[in-house]
Structure 1
Amino acid sequence: MKKYNQKVITFGGGTGQFHLLSGLRELNKNSLITAIAGTWDSGGSSGRLRSEIGVLPPGDIRRCLLALMPNEKQRMVAQTLFDDRLEDLTGPMKGHSFGNLLTARLENIYKGQDRGIDAERELFGVKAKIMPVSITNLQLIAETSKGNKIVGETNIDLRIKDKNYDKNDKIVRIYFDTRGDVNLNVLTEIENADKIVFSSGDLYTSVLPHLLVDGVKEAIEKSKAKLIYVLNLATKPGETDSYKASDFLKAFLFYIDTPSRLNFMIVNDNHLDQEVLEIYKGEGQNLVEIDEDKIKELEPKLKIIKKPVSIYLKKEHLLRHDSIKLAKCILEL
């Protein structure tokens, strides 16, 4: 397999960024990869640690770390360890993810999240850089078309479970409760990058919030790096119901706020059986329709890269990006 030597910086969160980083780990020089993680997670173990001891939410950092570990057996053991919820304990530690506790503890010992992450990278032999996009404790807020306000990343993420959920009440705006001060190291990475990649993922809770952090979009505007957006494979109930590719793009362009800055959008070109499509439809999801004419209206200079970059895992009933194919597509641009 050909190895590349490109300075690649990724923004995103969740499984979208995880699979992207997993492919880059295999195909690119690891010391040239930088993963930027969000710091507005408000749910689960991350949210509890945030409120109980005041650390920045460690969940996305933990996933980046796991994706970038160089050894497969190491990753398997680490994933088992990180995912352990300490259910056999009693008291305040019960239910916490061990991986989150480790990240939070190292942040405390080394007096800062950046230094704590570097210690964890040393511990697991990770050559790539991992850093939080902001050093501010941020609360994400969404406003909807009917004037409702949803406070907290988890509440936005799970709004479909609200008994008053209205499918037609779409998210129209996101913002933070306070100014998000950028991690200055992130600006340096943007300046020096060959490629800046926004991964697939939850549009309003994982991807776009990075662009709300002070200085990020301005640094991207000045950077000479190629800017790449990986389109989601499917819509998400509560966030992107009935979205087409142009709807995702329109939202991205609004928050990047620089005409003609986006160079490439990667879209999946794999054929999927009707049976798979029906299963997803039954769960309130649809494959994202690629409406090229509308895309060209929005961003005439944008290059649409259509490649078969998905994989369907029948046993798990899971459609996701193929890590290697996606990374190869990006590195070849």
Structure 2
Amino acid sequence: MIELAESTPAQGPKIVVIGGGSGQPVILKGLKSYQADLTAIITVADDGGSSGTLRDYLNIIPPGDIRNVIAVLADVSSDLIDLFQYRFKKEDEMLAGHALGNLIIAAIAEKKQDIYGGVQQLCQLMQVDGHVYPVAKEPLVLHARFKDGSELSGEAEITAAHNAIDRIWVTPQADSANQVAQAPTAVVDAILAADEIVLGPGSLYTSILPNLVVPNVAAAMKMTRAKVTYIANIMTQKGETDGYSEADHVRVINEHLGAQVVDAVLMNTGVVPEDYIDWHRWNEVSHQVRFDPDQVRKEGAVPILGDFLALRENGAFHDGDLVAKLIMQIAGTPADDAGGE
């Protein structure tokens, strides 16, 4: 049984947040204000934008999601963080669209000839409060099989297809010496040692699952005694998850891992006002995710309900502070106290 505790252990729980995209930093920012041992595990299958360009030219893991997590967890001046996050203007020719932090990550990776070690060194320089681990030491290729039987490779192309996905998997790039995707030992160790593992929020098929389907990550997720909390998305993703409920998201995660791994689901009860969303700006979202706590229970998870909605910039987001508070309360319950309400 999962119950919300009033306090957490004095030394702070070990919390691992797995994902990518814009949702992961929101949750980490909220968690940063608590006493906790934080680890972020980040997808390396992104191949669009500045990250995709640097990935192609320099054959490194995409730096964008890593940059955003480092910026949130860094304990340096706001001026330095603003500089780290600065994105060159579109008229800046070859630098157009690149964030300075992406270039710094690329430079430190080249200098050390090791992207994983470079990220760890940069975390030290930025005085990161926690651990930042790319899920692999090399860029991975995301593959999708759609429900119509067709297949595509590449995160950007899969997202742009707006097609209903049946299954995804990842592989190393064609020029890799490895035949199977593999996470570093530190990633597996963090999952096995965690008190709580948080999935999301983020795109189900392109931010969360690309981490979980790495074979040794999948194995660790099935072995860990950590409580696994899924932060249900507020909006569906156009084409990919149209009509999905929170339970459908949980079912897909469990099916990809081959076991019921999700213990609790944070489910938003707030309603997005009609005509609030700027559909041109947020062109990947479709409709509000269907609310169905009974089906979540049937997937073996405890529904935890609350109004987690934060409306800003004509978009629907999670209230990171409120979600972080609940994550900490879940982490404070005994590890073997799961399975019901």
TM-score by length of 1: 0.87
Q: Deviations over 1:161-197 (max 9, x none)?
A: xxxxxxxx51101112442111111011112111111
Query: For 1:270, what is the secondary structure of its paired residue?
Result: coil
Percent of counterpart pairs with the same letter? 28
Which of structures 1 and 2 has the larger relative contact order (alpha carbons within 8 angstroms, sep 6+)? 2
2:225 matched to 1:239?
no
Structure 2: how far apart are the matches of 1:278 and 1:93? 29
Partner of residue 106 from structure 2, selected from 101, 104, 107: 104
Structure 2: how far apart are the matches of 1:56 and 1:248? 27
User: Match for residue 152 of structure 1?
Assistant: 154
Structure 2: how far apart are the matches of 1:278 and 1:10? 29
Structure 1: how far apart are the matches of 2:108 and 2:155? 24
Q: Give the structure with the higher percent helix.
A: 1
Structure 2: how far apart are the matches of 1:312 and 1:219? 36
Q: Deviations over 1:283-303 (max 9, x none)?
A: 66211111223223332xx21
Query: For 2:215, what is the secondary structure of its paired residue?
Result: coil
User: Match for residue 311 of structure 1?
Assistant: 310
User: Match for residue 8 of structure 1?
Assistant: 15
User: Match for residue 139 of structure 1?
Assistant: 141
Alignment of 1:146-295 (within 5 A): 146-160=148-162, 169-178=163-172, 179-259=180-260, 261-276=261-276, 285-295=286-296
User: Match for residue 3 of structure 2?
Assistant: none
Query: Any conservation in 2 of the 1:21–1:67 contact (CA below 8 Å)?
Result: yes
1:153 maps to a residue whose letter is E
Structure 1 residue 258 displacement after superposition: 1.6
Structure 2 unaligned blocks of 5 or more? 1-6, 173-179, 331-341
Structure 1 residue 66 displacement after superposition: 1.2
The 3 A distance-change label for structure 1 pair 224 and 297 is closer
Query: Any conservation in 2 of the 1:277–1:286 contact (CA below 8 Å)?
Result: no
Structure 1 unaligned blocks of 5 or more? 161-168
Q: Which structure 1 residue ranges, 4+ long, deviate > 3 Å from structure 2?
A: 86-90, 92-95, 271-280
C-alpha RMSD over aligned residues: 2.3
1:253 maps to a residue whose letter is N
Structure 1: how far apart are the matches of 2:65 and 2:266? 23
The 3 A distance-change label for structure 1 pair 279 and 215 is closer
2:136 maps to a residue whose letter is S
The 3 A distance-change label for structure 1 pair 278 and 116 is closer
Structure 1: how far apart are the matches of 2:298 and 2:96? 52
The 3 A distance-change label for structure 1 pair 131 and 278 is closer
Structure 2: how far apart are the matches of 1:156 and 1:126? 33
Structure 1 residue 210 displacement after superposition: 0.9
Query: For 2:181, what is the secondary structure of its paired residue?
Result: coil
The 3 A distance-change label for structure 1 pair 278 and 186 is closer
Partner of residue 60 from structure 1, selected from 65, 77, 83: 65
Query: Any conservation in 1 of the 2:267–2:306 contact (CA below 8 Å)?
Result: yes
The 3 A distance-change label for structure 1 pair 234 and 94 is closer
Q: How many residues are treated as equivalent by the alignment?
A: 313
Structure 1: how far apart are the matches of 2:54 and 2:39? 25
TM-score by length of 2: 0.85
Query: Any conservation in 2 of the 1:14–1:201 contact (CA below 8 Å)?
Result: yes
Query: For 2:118, what is the secondary structure of its paired residue?
Result: helix
